[in-house]
Amino acid sequence: MDFQLTEEQGFFKKTVADMIDRMVVPKSQEIDEKDEFPWELWKEFARLGYLGLRYPEKIGGLNADKIMCMTFYEEIARGSVGFAQSAIMNILMGTYFIHRFGSDAIKERCLYPAMKGEKIATMCFTEDQSGSDLGATRTLAVQDGDGWRINGTKMWITNGPICDFCTVLATTDPSKGLKGLNFYLVEKGTPGFSTGQIIHKLGCRGTVTGELVFDNVWVPYENLLGKEPGKGVSYVSDILDEVRLMTGAMALGIAVGAYNEALEFARKRVAFGQPIGNYQLIREKFADMDTMMNAARLMIYYGSWLLENNMESRVVAAEAKMYATEVCLKVVDELTRIYGANAFAYEYKSQRYFRDARFLLYGGGTHEVLKDFIGRSIIGKL
Amino acid sequence: MKILVFIKQVADTEARILIKSDKKSLEIENKYNMNFFDEFAVEEAVSIKEKTEGTWVAVCTYGSKRAIEALRTAIAMGADQAFLLDNTNLDSDDPLITAKILAGFARQEGFDFILCGRQAIDDESSNIGVMTAEFLGIPHVNSVMKLDIVNGNRALAESEIEGGRETIEVQLPALFTTQKGLNEPRVPLITGVMKAMKADIPLIDPCSTGLIRETIDTGAARINVLYYETPQGRPAVRIIEGASPEEKVKGLIAVLKEEAKVL
C-alpha cells in the first residue's frame, strides 16, 4: 500500500498551490468584501486551462485522475471558497451531463466554451421544498411537439444568475418520485428562462447564487440529457460520489487555510510573556486538528482511489464528505478561539473561514440524511 | 539559438529554518521553490523562444533529486528540456565548485547565451553567474532589467547600477544574471504542467563533463561554515507617551535625535 502521491501528482499539487497563492489568495479578501463575481480573475484563471481538468485530452481537457482533481478542489477552496464554487461548477456539475449525453452540436455550443471559461455553466437541483429529497422535485417537463415544455423554479443555484446554460433536474411524472426525474439543457436567452431572486449569503461570497425561473420554457427533444426519460436518478448516482468527495476536498482546503492561519498566530501572539503556542491547551488544539485533518485527507484519497478504480465507493464517499466537513467546522471554530477577540473583527481572515465553512453542511446531502443513508447501507434491509 | 538557464531550488521564504545544536547545519522545513531571481531567467528565455523561431531552451540545476521539482516548474513555464547535475557525494555549498560544475556542463552542452538569477535567496552569495562566466571565458552582464538579442549574435543588455541603468552591448556567447523587473514570470498553463509532469529529466554525473572528482567533492570546498547564529530578535515596542498628538510627536523626535540618532 503506497500512501504517497506519485511524483506527478505531487508536482501537480505543488504547481496548483503556487498558482492559487499567486493568483487567487491576494484577491480573496476583496472577493469576499465586494461579493461580486470576479470577472477579471475568472478570465485570467480560465486562460490557464484548469476548467477542462476532468475531460479527455482529445476534446481539449486534461484527463486528470480523481486524486489530481481532489487536489485541485482542495487548493482552490483554500484560496477562495466563493471563487472555487464557481470554478468547480464549470469543471464538474455544470458540464458533466453535457459531456456525457449532449449531442455534438450541444457540446460545441456549451461544453467546449465552458471548458475555456467563455461560458458559465450550472446545474439546478434544489427547489424551495426539495434539497436532499430529490423525489419531491416539482419542476415539470412535458413533451410538447418535438420538444419539452418546462415549468418550475430552482433555488440556491451556484452561478445561476450569471449562467449561460444550465442542466435542470425536472420530473416528467411526479407520481413516480425519483423514477420520474430527468435532466434537460436550458440555455440563456430561451424564452421563459429568467433569473429570480439573488441570495445574499453568509459566506462563499463572490459566487452569485440565486433563483432560476422556468416559465413555459420550450427546448428541443435533444435537450433531454440522457438515453431515455426516467433515468435521471441513476445518472445522479453516477456523479454523486464524485460531488461528495469534491465537497470533502473543499472542506479540507478550507481547514488547511484556517489551520495555517491559526499556527502562524499561535507562534507569534504573546500572552503572559510568551507565545501562546507554548501553552498546553493551545498545543492540544493543534494535536487534535492535525490528527483529524490527516484522517479526513486519507478518507478523501481512499474514496477517490475507489472511484478511480471503478470500485464501490458510495458509503466511503458519503463518510468522507461528512467527516471532512465536520473536521473543517471544528478547525475553523478552533481558529476563532485561538485568535481570541480578533476573530470577531472583519479585519482578520479568521471570520471568513468561519463563515465560508458553513455551506459545506448542505452540498452533497445534509449530514442527517447522509448518516441515515450510511447506517441503512451498513445494517441492510430488515 | 540555444539558451541555457541555470536555476537553484531554495527553501520557501516561509519555511521554518532552525539552527541545529552543532550550530554548523540547518534544519529546513520541507518546502522548496525555484529561486525567486531564477524565475525571471526562465521567463526571459521562454519569451525569447516564443519570439524567435528555432530557439531551444535548456534548464539545469546542480542539486539533489529533490530539485527535479524546480526543473519541472521550468518545463511547465515553457523550457524544452531540463537536466539535473547530481550532487550525490559532492560538495553542494561552495559557490566556486558549483560554478565549475555548471561551466563543465555548459561547455559540453553548448549554448548561445546563458541566463540565471542574480543571486539565490538562501545564501545570497551572488557569485555563481559571474564565476561560471569566468570559467567559460565569456563576458557577463549582471542585474539585467532589459535584454534584446540582435541578429542572434549580440545583445543589448540594460542593467541596474547604483543610481540608474547602464546599457551594454555584448557579443554572444555571454552570460546574463537577471533582476526583478526584467519581466513578469508566467503562471504555467495546465498544458505546460501536464507536459512537465511527464518530462524525462536526465541525472548527470558532473564528472562525466570532464571534471576530476577530487576538485569538486566535499573536501575541495574553499568555504568553511564556522557557525550559524539567529538574527537578533526585535526589541520590545516602545510607546511614546504624551497628552496630545503634538506632544507625542515631540517625544518621538527627541527619541529619534538623542537615542536612535537617526535625525
The residues that bridge with A275 in the sheet, in sequence order, are A270
Residues B178 and B258 in one domain: no
Which DSSP category does A110 fall into? I
Report pLDDT digits (tens) over A282-301: 999 999 999 999 999 999 99
Q: What is the 3-state secondary structure (H, E, C) of chain B?
A: CEEEEECCEEECCCCCEEECCCCCCEEECCCEEECHHHHHHHHHHHHHHHHCCCCEEEEEEEECHHHHHHHHHHHHHCCCEEEEEECCCCCCCCHHHHHHHHHHHHHHHCCCEEEEECCCCCCCCCCHHHHHHHHHCCCEEEEEEEEEEECCCEEEEEEEECCEEEEEEEECCEEEEECCCCCCCCCCCHHHHHHHHHCCCCEECHHHHCCCHHHCCHHHCCCCCCCCCCCCCCCCCCCCCCCCHHHHHHHHHHHHHHCCCCC
Residue B26 within any structural domain of the chain: yes
Cβ distance B72 to A11 less than 8 Å, yes or no, reads yes
Separation CA A309–CA A16 (nearest Å)? 24
Nearest CA in chain B to A63: B194
Report pLDDT digits (tens) over B12-53: 998 988 999 999 889 999 999 999 999 999 999 999 999 999
Nearest CA in chain A to B187: A19
Residues B36 and B152 in one domain: yes
Question: B224 pLDDT band (50/70/90 cuts)?
Answer: confident
Residue of A9, A14, A21, A44 for testing the chain B interface, max B β-carbons within 10 Å: A14
Residue A164 in 3-state DSSP? coil
Which DSSP category does A343 fall into? G
Query: What is the per-residue pLDDT for B177?
Result: 97
Q: Which residues of B touch A11 (CB under 8 A)?
A: 69, 72, 193, 196-197
The answer to whether residues B218 and B89 touch, using CB atoms and an 8 Å cutoff, is yes
- CATH number at B101 reads 3.40.50.620
The shortest C-alpha distance from A150 to chain B (Å) reads 38
What are the grid coordinates assigned to A178, written together? Answer: 425519483
The residues of B whose Cβ lies within 8 A of any Cβ of A are 33, 68-69, 72-73, 76, 187-191, 193-194, 196-198
Range of the domain at B25: 2-220
Query: What is the per-residue pLDDT for A303?
Result: 96
The answer to whether domain A7-115 has CATH 3.40.50.10330 is no
Residue A375 in 3-state DSSP? helix
Range B196-202 average pLDDT? 95
What are the grid coordinates assigned to A340, written together? Answer: 481570541
Q: How much of chain A, in percent, has pLDDT values that exceed 90?
A: 85
Does residue B220 carry a pLDDT above 90? no
Residue A21 in 3-state DSSP? helix
Q: Which residues of A touch B191 (CB under 8 A)?
A: 49, 62
Residues B214 and B236 in one domain: no
Neighbours of B110 (CB within 10 A): 10
Report pLDDT digits (tens) over A169-192: 999 988 888 888 999 999 999 999
Cβ distance A18 to B33 less than 8 Å, yes or no, reads yes
Question: A212 pLDDT band (50/70/90 cuts)?
Answer: very high
Question: B222 pLDDT band (50/70/90 cuts)?
Answer: confident
Per mean pLDDT, which range of A49-58, B78-87, B96-105, B208-217 is the poorest?
B208-217
Report pLDDT digits (tens) over B39-96: 999 999 999 999 999 999 999 999 999 999 999 999 999 999 999 999 988 877 899 9
Residues B155 and B127 in one domain: yes
Query: A341: Cβ–Cβ under 8 A, 6 or more apart, which residues?
Result: none
The CATH architecture one would assign to domain A121-230 is Beta Barrel (2.40)
Residues B7 and B78 in one domain: yes
Query: What is the per-residue pLDDT for A140?
Result: 95
Cβ distance A53 to B69 less than 8 Å, yes or no, reads no
Nearest by CB to A19, from B68, B72, B187: name it: B187
Question: A28 pLDDT band (50/70/90 cuts)?
Answer: very high
Residues B104 and B161 in one domain: yes
Residues B173 and B248 in one domain: no
Interface predicted TM-score of the whole assembly (ipTM), two decimals: 0.86
Higher pLDDT, B236 or B253: B253
Report pLDDT digits (tens) over A330-381: 999 999 999 999 999 998 999 999 999 999 998 888 999 999 999 999 998 7
Residue B180 within any structural domain of the chain: yes
Does residue B188 carry a pLDDT above 90? yes
Nearest CA in chain B to A64: B194
Residue B226 within any structural domain of the chain: no
Range B213-237 average pLDDT? 85
Separation CA B77–CA B59 (nearest Å)? 11
The shortest C-alpha distance from A18 to chain B (Å) reads 9
Residues B74 and B125 in one domain: yes
Cβ distance B197 to A53 less than 8 Å, yes or no, reads no
In angstroms, what CA-CA distances link B224 with A39, A169, B92, B96?
54, 70, 12, 12
Nearest by CB to B197, from A12, A19, A23: name it: A12
Domain boundaries, chain A: 7-115, 121-230, 233-379
Residues B138 and B252 in one domain: no
Report pLDDT digits (tens) over B165-183: 999 999 999 999 999 999 9
A53 close contact with B: CB closer than 8 A: yes
A22 close contact with B: CB closer than 8 A: yes
The shortest C-alpha distance from B70 to chain A (Å) reads 9
Does residue B261 carry a pLDDT above 90? no
The shortest C-alpha distance from A20 to chain B (Å) reads 10
Cβ distance B189 to A8 less than 8 Å, yes or no, reads no
Query: What is the per-residue pLDDT for B9?
Result: 97
Q: Which residues of B touch A8 (CB under 8 A)?
A: 197-198
What are the grid coordinates assigned to B224, written together? Answer: 568553511
The CATH architecture one would assign to domain A233-379 is Up-down Bundle (1.20)
Query: Following CA atoms B47, A44, B60, B151 in sequence, which dihedral angle do they give, to the nearest 10 degrees?
Result: 0
SS3 content of chain A, % helix, strand, coil (to 5): 60, 15, 25
Cβ distance A15 to B194 less than 8 Å, yes or no, reads no
Residue of B12, B68, B193, B195 for testing the chain A interface, max A β-carbons within 10 Å: B193
Report pLDDT digits (tens) over A221-252: 999 998 778 777 778 878 899 999 999 999 99
Query: A263: Cβ–Cβ under 8 A, 6 or more apart, which residues?
Result: A277, A286
Residues B212 and B84 in one domain: yes
Does residue B214 carry a pLDDT above 90? no
Residues B94 and B161 in one domain: yes
In angstroms, what CA-CA distances link A123 with A88, B13, B199?
11, 41, 37
Report pLDDT digits (tens) over A91-135: 999 999 999 999 999 999 999 999 999 999 999 999 888 777 787
Residues B211 and B237 in one domain: no
Does residue B236 carry a pLDDT above 80? no
As for how many domains chain B has, the answer is 2
Q: Which residues of A touch B196 (CB under 8 A)?
A: 11, 15
Cβ distance B187 to A22 less than 8 Å, yes or no, reads yes
How many Cβ pairs within 8 Å bridge chains A and B? 38
A233 close contact with B: CB closer than 8 A: no
Question: A269 pLDDT band (50/70/90 cuts)?
Answer: very high
Query: What is the per-residue pLDDT for B91?
Result: 78
Query: What is the per-residue pLDDT for A204?
Result: 94
The answer to whether residues A353 and A281 touch, using CB atoms and an 8 Å cutoff, is no
Residue B225 within any structural domain of the chain: no
pTM (global) more than 0.80: yes
Cis amide bond preceding A161, omega within 30:
no
Q: Which residues of B touch A15 (CB under 8 A)?
A: 73, 76, 188, 193, 196
Matching residue, cell 560538495 = B91
Nearest by CB to A48, from B189, B197, B198: name it: B189
